Amino acid sequence: MANAKEKSSLVITNEYTPVEYDPQYILMVNALKKYFPIKDGLIAHTVGYVKAVDGVTFNLKRGTTMGLVGESGCGKTTCGRTILRLSGEKTGGQVLFNGQEVYDLTAKEMRALRPKMQIIFQDPFSSLSPRLPVGEIIGEAVREHNLVPAKEFDDYIDDIMDKCGLQPFHKDRYPHEFSGGQRQRICIARALALNPEFVVCDEPVSALDVSIQAQIINLLKELQEQFKLTYLFISHDLSVVEHISDSVGVMYLGDLVEYGSTDDIFSNPLHPYTEALFSAIPIPDPDAKMKRIVLEGSIPSPANPPSGCKFHTRCARCTERCKVETPCQHEVEPGHYVVCHLYDEE
């Protein structure tokens, strides 16, 4: 009996209503789940799961930018990587890229799709191979995927480097010879060299200085217009997200608690967590008086999340119901979704 009970905590429910493909969206994510098993004991059997992404649903329109914000450990990066099929198999849900379920593809089909979806990593100091010259870092994937004829290869790389603000003579240099901002330009050039449609930007500016940040953000925006790119912009810096995004998703402990257009979210935050998060942004004006909502404590462990609404342990407006019942998604205004019991319809 005890054995059966133990096993019930390991059962993964994977219930969702499949979505129909809508051509205006480049990416449709439906109830996406990614759990990492916790292994223990001599034979390393699974004793539980870290629910890094636990049912995330959103759609991303072609040529727009979606910002994904949240505290560290809330699953933003895992969400981005799972969409790109970079962290093994998903646990549940759907990822439709141009209407095609990414996880149904064979290895060969996946390889053909890879150039269409790219990623820019957070830390430009560790994501570039120190042993390859910059030209090779940018050009390696282009050659692997046979995107351009060998004759045009050099010109093609020069062209991409030029668009990303790098000089042709940088090609023979190694990453250690560049500053942080220049390295991030190399990372961007590497992603764009494959002519992608969709780019996940995983905290591309958080390791950079303020003045360099502005250069990189402007560059990303210019390139978006030029190549009609779609970005998923992961960041914990809310002011940067507000500047660059068309829509914003707020994550907390693996859940997307609020999702909507940038204007809606910033002018009218609905979820108590979003409110607290926004009130914590420091404003560069010494006279600004803030009604700050200071959240007590820190983010709970995703291996053992609180019951009911995951935010109830830190929520100022928590009710008895929040502690037991898991809230579901409500569309409060058109296109503005929130997961909270406060907005339940009677």
Residue 179 as a binder of other proteins (CB under 8 A): the answer is yes
Helix (H, G, I), strand (E, B) or coil at 33: strand
Residue 304 as a binder of other proteins (CB under 8 A): the answer is no
| Spatial contact of 207 and 124, defined as CB atoms under 8 Å apart | yes
How many residues of this chain bind other proteins (CB under 8 A)?
Answer: 40
Q: What residue type is 340 in one-letter code?
A: C
Cα–Cα distance between 60 and 96 in angstroms, integer?
A: 10
User: In this complex, which beta carbon is closest to other proteins, that of residue 82 or of residue 182?
Assistant: 182
- The interface region with other proteins, picked from 110-118, 122-130, 152-160, 232-240 by CB under 8 A, is 232-240
Cα diameter, the chain: 70
Footprint of other proteins on 94-153 (CB under 8 A): none
Q: Which of 161, 199, 276, 309 is close enough to bind other proteins by CB under 8 A?
A: 276
State how beta strands 198-202 and 230-234 pair.
parallel
Cα–Cα distance between 286 and 289 in angstroms, integer?
A: 8
Residue 284 as a binder of other proteins (CB under 8 A): the answer is yes
Query: Which of 265, 242, 254, 337 is CA-nearest to residue 303?
Result: 254
Q: How far is the CB of 298 from other proteins (least distance, A)?
A: 5
Q: How far is the CB of 246 from other proteins (least distance, A)?
A: 13
Pull the structure tokens for residue 50. 């870290």
Q: Which of 154, 158, 242, 275 is close enough to bind other proteins by CB under 8 A?
A: 242
User: In this complex, which beta carbon is closest to other proteins, that of residue 19 or of residue 217?
Assistant: 217
Cα–Cα distance between 144 and 92 in angstroms, integer?
A: 31
Residues that bind other proteins (CB under 8 A): 71-72, 172, 179, 181, 209-215, 217-218, 221, 236, 238-240, 242-243, 266, 276-288, 292, 294-295, 298-299
